[in-house]
Amino acid sequence: MHESFLFYICLLLIIMLLVMLAQKIKISYPIVLVVGGFAISFIPSVPSIHISPQLIFLIFLPPLLYDAAWQTSWKDFWKWRRVIASFAFPIVIITSAVIAVISNQLIPGFTLALGFLLGGIISPPDAVSATSILKEVKVPKRTSAILEGESLLNDASSLIVYRFALAAVITGSFSIGEASYKFVEVVVMGIATGLIIGVIFYALHRWMPTTASIDTVLTFVEPYIMYIVAEHFHYSGVLAVVTGGLYLSNRSHVILNHVSRLQTVNVWQTIGFLFNGFVFLLIGLEFTAVIKATGTNLNSNLIYGIVISIAVIILRLLSTMGASVFTMFASKFIKTEDSRPGWRGPMVIGWAGMRGVVSLASALSIPLVLKSGQPFPHRETIVFITFIVIMFTLVFQGLTLPWIIKKFGEPERDYLIPEQEQEAMVKSEMKNVALALLDKEYKEDAISNILLKELKTRLSNELAYVDGRHSRDEHEAVQNKLRFQAAYKHVIEVQRQKLQELNQKPEFEEDVIDKYVSQLDLEEEKLRQQFEL
């Protein structure tokens, strides 16, 4: 027990070091973690790693999906809902079907049912890999919105395909009518489960006397409840988590106060980072065990894996291009957000199809034996091909995606006002409405109350700065901003030092000092966001 705990602490330190290395060499950290884990697994003293699929499905998947749902813009999700839905459902099913045919023809003794099983496993792209790269390279908002929205839903559709294909392999029978009905039931009831549980937690957050800590813990419990309840009734736990997460995140300004929001965001950023780090490192560490399990079929399985990896990449590119053509055709009959999406955006979206966490868990969850007691056919081959697809797409596409974006990317077409100007407009509107309120409701107080008077003066000065910053000499404005930032940060640092001096004196409680240290932290963060170049 002691040695296992120490081992995972070491893994945690390795994750930190590899992520820092990724930032240093400017490569997406999931790629470095997978490759690093694979390299570490060859060290003789490193124990063999065997990932439990239940660990990923139950422990890692719900919070990762929930975190992604909270970070997704509902406005953009709804705007591009048709494209997202087409990528998440029809394209996943088409990909599974084509992979079924290819693997059936390519691999001796591989049935169509096994092909659909493999297709369901490797069809969903991984969101974390793409979004971590997109943060480093500027892309249009629609591209990131579609990728993020797709990642929330395609895991659900792929797992449903996987579930039906697995049942067909185990039972030896398959009914398209029954499967279609079950598919609709699983999707609809999964969404309904997420909404019902989301409403219950909405009521707890809003009308019960919660604290910031309670709110944070509740947000951590919510995805597990949604997932477990939905899976208990054999509905889609993924869709339940995604639906409930979108519902609650869209109402976070109502159910959480400012302290809860600050604390929850900070906690979830750390949780998401750690969970993703562990999963991608474990993928690399597990790969050597998969290679050993393949045995004498290593060379042939490697060829199968590379061929299917290339097929997966081509299929996604054709699908995204086909979706663009279909949108142009459909726009003649229905209203679409963009009747001429072109080929550049779909090219980038198509190339951002790296596979990851869900594919790994699905492959490893294939049972070892059938109900008859016979070994599950081609299990080692399916698991090995899945790992090859993950490694091939993650490393090859992940490393080349920034180049693809720079080469084939398109300019922003939806949000035409530059982000800096949007921020200036938002700040101006916020300060105008604040000053109007002070003049209307607190006019007398603003004269006699020194605190309100200072607030009004500060708001007026900031409004004058925001409204006039673009009309002055740009160089002078930048220099003024830099001098202000340096002076203000110096003031905050001196105040911190004074607080530490006061903390050494016996008459001051440390809780009081900590309170003002936190206030200075918030003030410095506000300074960074407000005057960031």
The per-residue pLDDT for range 213-269, each reduced to its tens digit, is 999 999 999 999 999 999 999 898 989 999 999 999 888 888 988 788 888 988 998
Helices (H), 233-257: 237-249, 252-255
The answer to whether residue 467 sits within a structural domain is yes
CATH for 387: 1.20.1530.20
Q: How many residues are listed for the chain in this entry?
A: 533
* DSSP secondary structure of 152-170: HHHHHHHHHHHHHHHHHHH
Give the residue numbers spanning the domain of 354: 2-408
144, 66: one domain: yes
Q: Which residues pair with 369 in a beta bridge?
A: 375
| C-alpha dist (Å) from residue 522 to 429, 498, 516 | 22, 17, 10
Residue-by-residue DSSP string for 34-65:
HHHHHHHTTSTTSPP----HHIIIIIIHHHHH
Residues 443 and 351 in one domain: no
Same domain, 502 and 396: no
462 and 488 together in one domain: no
How confident is the model at residue 3, as a pLDDT? Answer: 64
For the chain, first and last CA: distance in Å?
50
169 part of a folded domain: yes
Statement to judge: residues 380 and 352 lie in one domain:
yes
Same domain, 249 and 354: yes
CB 289 within 8 A of CB 49: yes
Euclidean distance between CA atoms 364 and 121, whole angstroms: 10
Judge if 466 and 483 occupy the same domain.
no
Residues 461 and 510 in one domain: no
Q: Are 504 and 453 in the same domain?
A: no
Task: Identify the pLDDT of residue 364.
Answer: 82
Which stretches in the chain have pLDDT values below 70? 1-3, 49, 51, 127-128, 130, 136, 173-175, 296, 337-338, 416, 419, 423, 466-478, 480-481, 484, 530-533
- Measured CA to CA, the distance from residue 431 to residue 148 in angstroms comes to 33
What is the predicted pLDDT for the residue at 533?
43
pLDDT at 530: 67
Same domain, 356 and 207: yes
Q: Tell whether 186 and 308 lie within a shared domain.
A: yes
pTM for the complete prediction? 0.83
* pLDDT attached to residue 312: 93
Q: Give how many domains the chain has, as a whole number.
A: 3
Do 450 and 478 belong to one domain? Answer: no
How remote is the C-alpha of 440 from its chain's centroid? 44
User: Does any domain span residue 417?
Assistant: no
| Residue 281 CB contacts under 8 Å (≥ 6 apart), including other chains | 11, 14, 15, 18, 33, 34, 36, 37
Provide the pLDDT for residue 149: 85
DSSP reduced 3-state for 356: coil
Which residues are CB-contacts of 405 (< 8 A; sequence separation ≥ 6)? Answer: 134, 137, 139, 348
